[in-house]
Structure 1
């Protein structure tokens, strides 16, 4: 594109020179005809030459005008094709990066699904769910607190008995008043009891939990089964509360973009209803509805006003199928060439 614009600029300069020469030729031709007229019969032959000079100047001027139009048209076509190519390359690149964003998040959440299934078989957790002894509950709370000292991605871990009463938690010192709470109507508890075996788990969409200071959480849960057996009868439920906002913010803010690109792009995670659940853009709110025009259900990009919208559906990870979330990057068209230069500068 730069070469095409340079050719256009150089051609315009040369055509301007031709136009100037043409004007001078016409002036000379006019002066020659005047002098031929003064010479009378003796200047007749020179008048013919002057007319030929005038006709030649007109032909050159016409040729220059046509050349200017052809060059301008072709340059515009090159510019349009070049911009389309640049936008398509960026759109495809950002669609790949969108998939990477949601895939990284799902790999993280897959580990959460492993955690909840594993911890639900711990003897202290199993004992607490099936007991009314407060010392048994206290021991389970200590076990949960030990887990939380290593797993800092969780706000809290709760054990509820079969009736939905919370009997143990890991962070009682930070979140008071949770022991004894009735969570039987909570989605995470009801879905945990519906799991068919100890190999299954439930996961809820991102929501704010009132009992955890209204923090945004991703809750993973499963049934606690008698004797910790995979096919045992449910005797309670374990809910683990993933600290969503800081973890998701790290994912969307650490996408491999140049500093220049980051000023032009908004990186987001969208849920299955296209609501924003994570964003690098401080002007957008969690829970805000985003107008995502899904064409290809798996991956794609398109132009909208002065932006390119790129997206990718979660591919899931291992046994975690995902919740139909999308990674999405909205990039401003303005400054694309500058961003491309920045990428070249950084190799």
Structure 2
């Protein structure tokens, strides 16, 4: 388990050892007491045989039996009291262990979603910056095959420098892709994407300072790859206040980037074998998973509306989560970092 839990585990181990030693000593006292009772009984029998000469010895024997009974009562009471105290200590240690690990996993979940936020913030900067490129403004202002080809070459240059994208598309106001950075690999030019949610939301943005961030989805034109698409209009003169003349859409290659993040969370080897690190959307749908399972098909329900928290499910399944805090001008999409851990396997 984590280094932060070593001392707690130590306390738990020592508590168990103290309990074992204590009950062992109480058991020894009881064993000695039983021998005293047998001796007292034997002495009483012999005193009866001795008749009048043994009466004094009989009195002593009775006293020994009385003391034995008192010792038995004390040992029983001691055992019960110690069992209660040790039980309380064990419960406290358990609560401390759970609380420590729960908060640690919350912190790791936050770290994961913060890395996602910072990464996606850069995508929002890219799309707003590139939408002002003169090659794109000219191609949409004065449409021609040469202008579109020039824009496509410019998109290709950007893609070679920014390897986190699958493709970049320049679209006209009707949603037709007029230029693409990788048309040889992903034939997009000439297709209409007006029905895509990111186009519908992006084309209506009021200012060049605005952008639309779409939830992770599979894009058929890009080989059904998982992408996070960012869009903003290209405007007259490349000015933030200019009239929209088209749209730039950039497709972030989500799967490998997200996989690096969820697999890079600081867990021990033992924890990694018993944990799933996830990124989920606002509805709990899994967008990335350290074990590669359930992406876009599985949900983690009932995380609540709190910014963060942890809880147990099904007895030993510890679930910790943290809501996206956003980064700079990127407010996030309500995503969460989540860690699901088999807590019992790590005790």
Three-state SS of the structure 2 residue aligned to 1:323 is coil
Correspondences of 1:41-60 after superposition (within 5 Å): 41-60=52-71
* 8 Å CA contact retained: 2:270, 2:346: no
Larger mean CA deviation between 319-328 and 64-73 belongs to: 64-73
The answer to whether 1:216 aligns with 2:226 is yes
Give the alignment partner of residue 311 of structure 2, picking from 302, 314, 317.
302
Three-state SS of the structure 2 residue aligned to 1:238 is strand
Aligned partners of 2:329, 2:297: CA distance in 1, in Å?
27
Correspondences of 1:188-199 after superposition (within 5 Å): 188-199=198-209
Deviations 1:93-136 (A, max 9, x none): 21122111111101000000000011111111112223431121
* 8 Å CA contact retained: 1:129, 1:237: no
User: How much has 1:283 moved relative to structure 2?
Assistant: 4.2
Aligned partners of 1:127, 1:159: CA distance in 2, in Å?
12
The answer to whether 1:124 aligns with 2:154 is no
Partner of 1:9: 20
Correspondences of 1:193-342 after superposition (within 5 Å): 193-294=203-304, 297-304=306-313, 305-337=315-347
The answer to whether 1:113 aligns with 2:106 is no
Aligned partners of 1:283, 1:111: CA distance in 2, in Å?
27
Aligned partners of 2:258, 2:302: CA distance in 1, in Å?
20
Aligned partners of 2:208, 2:141: CA distance in 1, in Å?
16
User: How much has 1:77 moved relative to structure 2?
Assistant: 1.1
Aligned partners of 2:201, 2:163: CA distance in 1, in Å?
25
Partner of 2:97: 86
Partner of 2:145: 134
Three-state SS of the structure 1 residue aligned to 2:344 is coil
Larger mean CA deviation between 121-130 and 280-289 belongs to: 280-289
* 8 Å CA contact retained: 2:109, 2:321: yes
TM-score scaled by length of structure 2: 0.93
Aligned partners of 2:292, 2:233: CA distance in 1, in Å?
38
Which sections of structure 1, spanning at least 5 residues, go unmatched? Answer: 338-347
* 8 Å CA contact retained: 2:303, 2:321: no
Larger mean CA deviation between 3-12 and 81-90 belongs to: 3-12
Aligned length: 335
Three-state SS of the structure 1 residue aligned to 2:125 is helix
* 8 Å CA contact retained: 1:128, 1:168: no
Correspondences of 1:142-161 after superposition (within 5 Å): 142-161=153-172
Partner of 1:22: 33
Deviations 1:147-199 (A, max 9, x none): 111211111000011111101101112112x1100111211112221111111
Give the alignment partner of residue 102 of structure 1, picking from 113, 117, 120.
113
Give the alignment partner of residue 51 of structure 2, picking from 40, 43, 53.
40
Which sections of structure 2, spanning at least 5 residues, go unmatched? Answer: 1-11
Aligned-pair Cα RMSD in Å: 1.4
